[in-house]
Structure 1
Amino acid sequence: MFAAILGPHKLIVKLLISKGADVNARGFLGMTPLNMAADEGQKEIADLLRDHGGKTSEELKTKGE
Structure 2
Amino acid sequence: MHEAAFGGRKETVELLISNGAHVNAKTKNDQTSLDFAIRFKRTKTAEFLRKHGGKTGEELEAEGK
Q: TM-score, normalised by structure 2?
A: 0.91
Aligned residues: CA RMSD: 1.0
- Pick the structure with more helix per residue: 1
Residue segments in structure 2 that go unaligned for 5+ positions in a row: none
Residues 54 and 27 (structure 1 numbering): CA distance in 2 closer, same or farther, change over 3 Å? same
Match in the other structure for 1:64 = 64
Q: Is this contact kept in 1: 2:6–2:40, CA < 8 A?
A: yes
Which sits farther off after the overlay, 1-10 or 36-45?
A: 1-10
Structure 1 stretches of 5 or more lacking a match? none
Could you give the per-residue CA deviations for residues 7-53 of structure 1, whole angstroms, max 9, x where no partner exists? 33111110001011111000141100110100010011001000010
SS class of match (2:29): helix
The count of aligned residue pairs is 65
